[in-house]
């Protein structure tokens, strides 16, 4: 069974959780390989929050505990408010309680809107051009944001992307976790491009 993930936003100068987004609230699967695609409703919702440099982690439920605590970031979101993108519509209320949040689940959908061509890391002064991400045989492309900012039990395995059919530089996974990220259409002067070339081959449609 693969790990589940949430997108977690951190305070500027500490690892305190300021908000999070839950994939299931956007009708997306919780595993990284289920939602980490360009055009995903869930990832689009996260992108809409990144208009200013924000520390981001794609936190896995099996990641290591935080220093000095007995829980990891995924678990610590239970004490944090859900972050909501500024442009969204309610799809439907689901008549079942969320056992972790003690509230009714609501399906949210970001209003379709451009979110920016570039995923930009302001700590490493680097960026990824989403338009340059290669597509698989079905025309689908892995979104760099979840992969670059992930913290999980182990690299690209453990039910994340199948290592035996994933090509490209898998060493990039997690190298942007907790850095200050924006998504925009312009690149700051002096920033260098990071080539994101991951492809998962043989996916069933």
Q: Where are the domains of the chain?
A: 5-200
Cα separation, 135 vs 178, in Å, equals: 27
For residue 121, which of 142, 149, 141 has the smallest C-alpha distance? 149
Question: Tens digit of pLDDT for each residue in 27-42?
Answer: 888 988 889 999 898 8
According to the model, what pLDDT value does residue 160 have? 62
pTM of the prediction?
A: 0.83
Give bridge partners of residue 110 from the DSSP assignment: 88
Query: Over 80: is that where the pLDDT of 161 sits?
Result: no
Average of per-residue pLDDT across 151-169: 66
What are the tokens at 9? 């936003």
The answer to whether residues 168 and 155 touch, using CB atoms and an 8 Å cutoff, is no
Cα separation, 54 vs 96, in Å, equals: 32
50 — pLDDT class (breaks 50, 70, 90): very high
According to the model, what pLDDT value does residue 166 have? 77
Q: Name which residue leads in pLDDT, 190 or 169.
A: 190
Q: Residue 199 in 3-state DSSP?
A: strand
Average of per-residue pLDDT across 172-194: 96
Q: Name which residue leads in pLDDT, 55 or 95.
A: 55
- Greatest mean pLDDT among 63-72, 88-97, 161-170 lies in 63-72
According to the model, what pLDDT value does residue 92 have? 40
According to the model, what pLDDT value does residue 8 have? 93
Q: Name which residue leads in pLDDT, 100 or 169.
A: 169
Query: Over 60: is that where the pLDDT of 106 sits?
Result: no
According to the model, what pLDDT value does residue 144 have? 96
Specify the residue for token string 């199948």. 162
């Amino acid at each position: 069974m693969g790990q589940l993930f949430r997108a977690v936003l951190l305070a500027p100068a500490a690892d305190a959780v300021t908000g999070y987004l839950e994939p299931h609230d956007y009708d997306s699967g919780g595993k990284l390989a289920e939602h980490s695609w360009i055009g995903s409703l869930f990832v689009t919702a996260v992108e809409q929050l990144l208009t200013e440099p924000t520390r981001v982690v794609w936190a896995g439920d099996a990641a290591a505990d935080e220093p000095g605590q007995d829980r990891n970031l995924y678990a610590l979101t239970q004490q944090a408010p859900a972050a909501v993108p500024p442009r969204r519509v309610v799809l439907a209320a689901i008549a079942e309680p969320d056992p972790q949040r003690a509230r009714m689940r609501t399906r949210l959908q970001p209003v379709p809107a451009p979110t920016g061509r570039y995923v930009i890391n302001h700590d490493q002064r680097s960026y990824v051009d989403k338009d340059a991400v290669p597509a698989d045989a079905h025309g689908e492309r892995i979104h760099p944001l979840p992969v670059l900012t992930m913290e999980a039990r182990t690299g690209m395995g453990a039910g994340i992307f199948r290592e035996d059919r994933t090509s490209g530089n898998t060493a990039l996974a997690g190298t942007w976790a907790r850095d200050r990220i924006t998504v925009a259409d312009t690149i700051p002067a002096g920033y260098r491009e990071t080539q994101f070339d991951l492809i998962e081959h043989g996916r069933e449609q």
